[in-house]
Structure 1
């Protein structure tokens, strides 16, 4: 069983800098680059809102070294650590190694496309990390929206990222590496146009300011398409 600690785990936001033609390309195909960019900005705001309210240390990890100044300005209370080249698994492994070498013991990784994540989800993850090595929060499309561990991740490079097989493959890799593991519920992320309607329903009563702004943007986008 992992050693209990009074220190909360560190929350790591792995993100891209929203820009026209950069990120959320599956949305851009249907909505256009301008709308996809607006939605990406609002999604990032939601993840930044979670960094601000996290009870422990936080890290923002932009996808490019040249975006460190931008990331530092968006999350001034967080450590900024740029991602290294490679596929997503390789980049997560590199971030994990760097942060653990700096003394971090428990790390929670999120992206910027799961706005329904809330304090109940985060609390369950923190509580589960006191009892097991590794905690995943599943995505309804078969992926994951959150991955947390008290131990270094196994080699993630060969996993089927961005496919419905990811969640099971990641869980299997962790168990094969000897991790005790818990899947702590399910949420969703936003990759496809169909996900936007799900977000409109899920966030309808969410009072958090960044979620309200996202909801307004999604509603306006839906109205324009209609």
Structure 2
């Protein structure tokens, strides 16, 4: 039984995708974040895995999530406090304690991470101890584990080009069998906007003072 946990921030202007604000404005960056969240949820459900959980910051029910429609069949949980590694480890340990077995964790920053990649990662995780999908900036957009592994999340230099390499090194040092998928691109910086997939709601670049939202059709946390 493979479960999928999605890490996401509420798509509020000025609180998400801040590195895109110079090009899109605060509202445009938030609209793109909302589009990518919707897209990620749609792809997660299309993958046909056993369960999908949205691990939210702030917690479910917070006013920041007002107006954000979530599809049926998605469980909602809170990320809680701590740095990214602490929150990821806590979410994985909680999910694995409730439902032992293969668990995938993703963010919402990679529109290219479609249902096919999710199904393949789930398939590989039945044959390996861990799976990882790296991105071009040195991080990763998916990690999967068969059992809790806090060693891969603690004391990590997040948001640096060494994250994926360091994670793979730690997994190898633990003697785990690891499958690494193809490299993808996430959307964090203005230069990353060229990697929005065809047919995705592609934003138009705005002046620094712009605040008009982009379209929100079909859409680290």
Report the equivalent of 1:10: 3
Deviation at 1:67, TM superposition (A): 4.1
Q: Give, in whole Å, the separation in 1 of the partners of 2:62 and 2:146.
A: 26
Query: Which of the numbers 146, 164, 169 marks the counterpart of 1:167?
Result: 164
Report the equivalent of 1:60: 54
Unmatched tracts of structure 1, length 5 or more:
1-6, 205-211
Q: Give, in whole Å, the separation in 2 of the partners of 1:123 and 1:117.
A: 11
Unmatched tracts of structure 2, length 5 or more:
208-221
1:50-89 to 2 correspondences below 5 Å:
50-55=43-48, 56-67=50-61, 70=65, 74-89=70-85
Greater RCO, CA 8 A, separation 6+: 2
> Is 2:60–2:77's contact at 8 Å kept on the other side of the alignment?
no
Q: Give, in whole Å, the separation in 1 of the partners of 2:35 and 2:118.
A: 20
* 2:201 is the counterpart of 1:216: yes
> After the TM superposition, which parts of structure 1 deviate over 3 Å for at least 4 consecutive aligned residues?
66-73
> Is 2:47–2:119's contact at 8 Å kept on the other side of the alignment?
no
Report the equivalent of 1:135: 131
Report the equivalent of 1:186: 183
* 2:173 is the counterpart of 1:176: yes
Taking structure 1 as the reference length, the TM-score comes to: 0.83
Query: Which of the numbers 20, 29, 37 marks the counterpart of 2:30?
Result: 37
Task: Give 3-state SS (helix, strand or coil) of 2:45's partner.
Answer: helix
* 2:17 is the counterpart of 1:24: yes
Deviation at 1:90, TM superposition (A): 0.3
Over 3 Å counting, the alpha-carbon distance change for 1:67 and 1:171 in structure 2 is farther
Report the equivalent of 1:123: 119
Taking structure 2 as the reference length, the TM-score comes to: 0.84
Report the equivalent of 1:4: none
Deviation at 1:68, TM superposition (A): 6.2
Looking at secondary structure, tell me which structure has more helix per residue.
1
> Is 1:68–1:82's contact at 8 Å kept on the other side of the alignment?
no
How large is the Cα RMSD of the aligned pairs?
2.0
Q: Give, in whole Å, the separation in 2 of the partners of 1:193 and 1:154.
A: 33
Q: Give, in whole Å, the separation in 2 of the partners of 1:104 and 1:193.
A: 39
Report the equivalent of 2:87: 91
